[in-house]
Amino acid sequence: MDLARSRRRWRRAFFALAFAWACTVAAAGYALIDQSVTLTYRGVSHDDLVRDAGILARLVPAVAPAATREGVLATLRRQNPDAFITADDSTVGIGQLHFVYGRDGRLTAIRHPELETVAD
């Protein structure tokens, strides 16, 4: 009788420890994946911001006297030949930067999602 009771205790203890170990491994795996995703997106966002600031630093002196849509678009295409540049009647976009123009074709604002409170 004592032998059977002892085996049941060991069996319960084994399964309890196995369950605790599985929960610990699952929580550690989730934490590791969650942190790597957070760091990845934070790095991409920072790299995009640095790249966009570099584009602005090169663009502004080149188009400052006549910041028209055509001038900005031509300068962006010349300075960044491999970049994906979007353009329509009132905006020109490269990366996360968007240049907004008024009806007269003059630059009215530069927008960036991370600098939205500073823009305009």
The reported pLDDT for the residue numbered 53 is 74
Question: What parts of the chain have a pLDDT lower than 70?
Answer: 1, 3, 36-45, 57-58, 60-66, 114-120
Residues in a beta bridge with 96: none
The reported pLDDT for the residue numbered 19 is 95
CA-to-CA distance for 47 and 32, rounded, in angstroms? Answer: 22
> Which DSSP state fits 41?
H
